[in-house]
Structures are given as C-alpha cells and as structure tokens.
Structure 1
Amino acid sequence: MMWGVPYRGRFVERLESSPPRPWEVLRYRGGTSPGRTELDRRLVPRCDGRLPELGPGEVSLTWIGHATFLLRTPELCLLIDPVWSARIPFVRPRLSPPGMAFDALPPVDAVLISHDHYDHLDAATVRRLPRDITVLVPLGLGHWFTRRGFTDVREADWWDVTLLGTTRCDFVPARHWSRRGVWDFCRSLWGGWVVTTAHGRRLYHAGDTGYGPFFAEIGRRFPEIDTALLPIGAYHPVEVMRTVHLTPEDAVRAARDLGARELVGMHWGTFALTGEPVAQPMERLRREWSAAGGRGQRLREVAVGQTWVLSARSAPE
C-alpha cells in the first residue's frame, strides 16, 4: 500500500520506483528554497501569431511554455501537452504567460498527450478544442476524452505507432506515473512521443520523466533524432523528485544517450512545481552542457513564444 490506498492502478507494474507522496509534492511546491528568483521577463516574449511559411520538408517548433509545443510541417499541425490556463490545481498562478494566444493558433490537426498530470493535460484548455480533432493519448486515458465528446481518440502503449498521414508518431517509455484524483492512481499510462516526418525530420518530446536506460533504447530504435525536448525543472528536493523528474544534469546525459543533434530544455519557468529557484534549471543546464563539452550536439536555448525552423533532409531508411 501507499498513501493508505492500495496499488490498484492498471499500470502499477510499469513503475520503476515509488513516486513522491502527495504531501511531499505539496510541501516543496512553489519555489520556496532560499534565493528564489522570479523568471527574467526578458526570456518570455510573446509570439504575435505570425508563424513562418514552411517550404517542402521543413518543420517548425514553437514553445508555448512549460511542456506545451506547437509542431508544424507543410502538411500537418500538432499540439503537444496543451496548457493555456493561468493556473492549474494545487499550484500558484503561472509565472510567464503562454507564448502564443490560444486564438492565434493555426488550425490544429492533432493533439498529443504524454500523461494525465494537470501541467500536461489541462481540462480548461481541452474544452476549447474542436471535438473532431484527432487526439493521441496513452493507454487508459482515452475515456477521459470520449466522455468530453471527442470522436477521434487513439490510445497507445509504449512502442506503438500511429500514422497521421505521412507523419509517424511513436509512443515511447518514460519513468513517471499518472494520477489526477484520489482513486485513479496509475489507471492510465505515461510516456513520450517521437514524431518522424515524411522528409526525415525526427523530434522527441519526453513528456515528464526521470532518467533511465530507455533513453538509450529510444536512441537505438530512432536514430538521428534532430531535437530532444527534455524536462529540466521540478527536481528539488532531489532525494524526493529525481526518480520521476530529470535534473538538468540528467537531461544532458539523456540527450547523449539519445544521440540527439540538439537539446531543448522545457518544463521550467512556467509553473513553480517544486522548490528550486525558478531560473535555476537553465543555469544548471548551461553549466553541465559546458562541462560535458557538447559532444558535437547543440544546446538550443529557447524563449517562451520563440519559433525555430528545421530544414528538410532525406527520409531515414
């Protein structure tokens, strides 16, 4: 038993360690550690809604904030872990506004969800989505959407493949857990998404995760990952959080395991989920990246609202 409630979740056997207890999370939530700093507002410019035109095979990524990204190709527009709310349950209001107004979004073809935690699955944002949009979710989470009237909901287990036209979406393992209420502990799965375009660009969104050997396995199964979007915040205190959240140092190690061409740190600067100073994750990521020598990869520092474009290349074999 844990927290006085039996382990009855469908996916409890996927846990690699006990997740933090609710009172441990709440105790350190809110950036209460000494020397806490507010996020530098110069790092959070808002996008005015004008997105670049894309040529054949190009891909653009826009960081909306926290774990929310807009991924566009000339053929498809994907929204990953959408959260536009000013606040989520049990957390102080967001520290930086969304990088793009919801109403400024281009038409979205599909939504990808990594897991059911409030900072990745926001009911208020989901209510604003059209009910005929395609939604890709982990096993066990489909009913959450169908109960709300969504008509094209596709569940995935680890290593399952979903095709969206010529774009391939693979659901991959993570070291985390799921829960939204008292009685739904591990009733749905958790993971990340590898998105591969028809022109060979490959992007990995890790969702939320601790470090594990699955990063090397993902890199082996999906070579030539162009961009790894890895969480770098919500790690203090380390002895409580590290089993389910990457430290910035862990993120550098994971990027190396993945063989990714570039690392983008996410899951920081938006919600004060744990006790580290708000700007500290990126500061530590820079230091670790410099100490590790980069290993031929690139650390891309992205501001909230920033869009960058990857050019086309030939499709992988």
Structure 2
Amino acid sequence: MNSATRVGAYAVGLAVVFGGAAGIGKVVGPVGASVETASHEGGGHGGESGAGGGHGEAASHTPGGLQVSEDGYTLVPQRTTLTPGKNTDFRFTINGSDGKPVTEFKPLHGKRLHLIVARRDLSGFQHLHPTEAGGVWTVPITLPKAGVYRFFTDVQPEGAPRQLTLGTDITAPGELRPAPLPEPEQVAKVDGYEVGLSGGLTPGRSAELTLSVRKDGRPVTDLEPYLEAYGHLVALRQGDLAYLHVHPEGEPGDGRTDPGPGITFFAEAPSSGTYRLYLDFKHGGKVRTAEFTVYAGAAGAPVQEPGQEPGHDDRPHTH
C-alpha cells in the first residue's frame, strides 16, 4: 500500500461512508499503523473530495468543508505536512479564479477568517484566527498527535455571493492511534464547567439546540461575548467531516438575548448519521470548548442523504 492509499485509508475515520463524500476511501487503517508524509506539497490536491468542484452533484447540495475549491475560490496551503507536537507557523492563501491570493474579505462573526481544525477521528479540535499580510494567512499551530487533520476555512471574499467553507487535509506523520468517538451524553464537562444539551439534529431539517452552562452546580448568567455571540458552535459529520453551518439565536446587546445560562442555535444535518458538536463559550476571560456526540436519525441507522432511495446506502461499521 503506497503512502497516498495509507493516508486515505485512515481519512475515513471509523469507516462511516456518506453519500456526499465522493472520492473518499472506504478502508480503515489498523490501530498502531503509521501515517506517512504525503508525496505532494502545496495546493495540488487532485484526490481531494470535491477538489475543483468537478463532481456530478450540484454545489448547492454539497455540505461545507468537503471541497478545497468552490465558486472559483481555492484554499491553497503552503505545505501539507506538519510535525506532530511541534508548534509551527501554518501558512495558506485563498486564491481567486485568476489564481491570485485574495486580500479583501467580509468579516464573519467579527473575524475575516476562521480556521477550524479536527483530526479525522474528530479529536484534536481547534478554532483559530490567522492573520493576513499580502494575501498570505499565518497562524501558529500544534497538531498534538500523528494523523490526518481536516483544516476548514470559514470565509467570505469581497464580491463572493455567500460564505464559503473550504477544506483540505494536512498530515501529521507518525504512529497512528485513532481515538474512539465518545458515546452520546447530554452533559459535557470542561475545566470545572458543566454544559447541558437539549434538542437534537433532524436530517434535512433545521433543528433547535440549546446548550446551558453551569459552574459549581449553579447556572452561569454572565457569559461574555465571543465572536459577536454568547457561544460559537461547530458541527462535523463522522466519516467525511462535512461541516454544518450553525446559526446562533440572538446576539449580545439585542435586548432579548440573555448572557446565559442557555445558548440557542439552529442547525440542519444534511443526512442521518453521527455528528460531533463543539461549543466555544467565554467566561472569566477564557474561551473553553465543550464537546458532544449526537445522532441525527436513529442511532446506528444507515447514513442517507435527503431524497436518497432506501437500499442504496452504506451502513456504518461499529467497533
């Protein structure tokens, strides 16, 4: 098995295969396998899912983050490997249809660009805000362990009709030890806080999610604004890491949104399956992240895109 095949094998994580994940392999690498350095550097991702937007599905039906290029804009990393455990300046550009780096962007939630990072097994989540100079974005980052990581950019170039979520894989070479996805729980604990989750995901429809923050058994009612809201929620689909756009209900200072304990969002799952939620919230001057595993549809149900006929889907493998 060559290096590209070996990396692609792990990229499927726990081997949940989704209809929207065109071009992603279906083989799971064994625990303890090694992830080798990808043979390509720079922006040449010919094997990326959706790269170049050349697949048959309409772009409007493709979940965010599965494509490295969309609407004429392309995410171009200067390197596709990073040494695990080492702090490194990661640099990339968002190129326009003319191949030149874009320098003008509309702010999204108070930032011109959001960089979301997660390993293919949904561990190692990071939410970063790079700085830009001359069209080149730079951010210091440490990938904690070996593996294949998905890097997402949430961005809206000036002149673009909508917000774009572009994605590319970055490899951290070394011994691969996939982390099992935690079972669904209604409460997540982080740094002395407890965050409760109510509501759920419904395939193909917008659903309400409320996350309530407590500390020492008491509701937190003085959450601090973070990214123009009292919380920022990212949702990723297990298997292909499709990126869900999640919209907060209300904003600080609007006269109707309280600073806790509850933070309400609306999210639409593109299919049944398993998702990982990451809530960033700020309190006491520090941003913390609470994580949840949730099902859209029945637990263990086959992953099925809305409108897909029964009997034409792949069932997830359990471990």
Report which of the two has the higher share of helix: 1
Bigger Rg over Cα: 2
Higher strand share: 2
Q: Normalising by structure 2, what TM-score?
A: 0.25
Q: Which has the higher contact order (CA 8 A, sep 6+)?
A: 1
